[in-house]
């Protein structure tokens, strides 16, 4: 009956309510950082293993490989250690200590094995929407869910 989407909808029969923005940030496992050190700036990233999205990944943002573009602004020949086809693959690679990668903060949650690196280096933002059919506009259960999601997304620390 309802969906959470990471892009605005175009069908006129759908109603959408923007819940929150999600921002991409850089993360690495604690083991990786203990072994390789913590980068402080873009030049430091040249000395690290970087995990990126594959070039053919359908993504909710146009510049999903912003991290690679940022590093290549310093060294056009830079090659990532791994390209992965989806956000969960990147999460698992980073958790496994493969390298540093960009993830939306909501995936990290309370994962004590992951640390945000270079907190001032923030990537693109994705808007999150609650989407439902126009005919459900006055459904009580939908209104309760919508109000709950809006309240908790406004109070969240997910972005």
- The CA-based angle 54-60-62, given to 5 degrees, is 70
- Give the residue with greater pLDDT, 68 vs 1: 68
Q: What confidence score (pLDDT) does residue 48 get? A: 98
The pLDDT value given to residue 71 = 96
| Phi, psi dihedral angles at 92 (to 5 degrees) | -65, -35
Beta pairing class for 100-104 and 50-53 = parallel
Question: Nearest to residue 4, comparing CAs of 83, 104, 94?
Answer: 104
pLDDT tens figures, 94-144:
999 999 999 988 888 777 899 999 999 988 888 889 999 888 888 899 889
Residue 110: per-residue pLDDT: 74
| Residue 6 near residue 127, CB atoms below 8 Å | yes
Distances (CA, A) of 83 to 39, 87, 100, 106: 20, 11, 12, 21
pLDDT of the residue at 39:
97
The helix/strand/coil state of 5 is strand
Per-residue pLDDT, 152: 78
Distance from CA of residue 81 to its chain's centroid? 19
**Residues sharing a CB contact under 8 Å with residue 23, sequence separation 6 or more, in sequence order:** 104, 105, 122, 123, 124, 125, 126, 159
pTM, entire model: 0.82
What tens digit of pLDDT does each residue of 25-58 get?
A: 999 999 999 999 999 999 999 999 999 988 776 6
Average pLDDT over residues 65-90: 93
Structure tokens at 102: 């960009």
What per-residue confidence (pLDDT) applies to 99?
98
* pLDDT at 159 > cutoff 70: no
Alpha helices per DSSP H over the chain:
30-36, 42-45, 66-72, 87-95, 140-155
pLDDT at 47 (0 to 100) = 96
Judge whether residue 157 has pLDDT over 60. Answer: no
Predicted local distance difference test score (pLDDT) of residue 86: 86
Q: Do the Cβ atoms of 28 and 115 come closer than 8 Å? A: yes
């Amino acid at each position: 009956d309802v969906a959470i989407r990471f892009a605005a909808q175009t069908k006129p029969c759908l109603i959408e309510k923007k819940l929150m923005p999600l921002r991409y940030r850089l993360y690495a496992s604690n083991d990786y950082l203990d072994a390789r050190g913590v980068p402080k700036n873009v030049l430091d990233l040249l000395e690290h293993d970087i995990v990126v999205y594959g070039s053919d990944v359908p993504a909710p943002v146009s510049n999903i490989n912003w991290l690679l573009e940022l590093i290549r602004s310093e060294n056009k020949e830079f090659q990532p250690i791994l390209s992965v086809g989806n956000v969960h693959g990147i999460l698992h690679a980073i958790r496994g200590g493969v390298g540093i990668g960009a993830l939306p903060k909501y995936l990290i949650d309370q994962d004590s094995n992951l640390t945000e690196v270079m907190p001032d280096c923030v990537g693109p933002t994705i808007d999150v929407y609650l989407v439902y059919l126009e005919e459900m506009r006055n459904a009580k259960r939908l209104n309760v869910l919508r109000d709950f999601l809006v309240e908790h997304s406004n109070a969240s620390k997910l972005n």
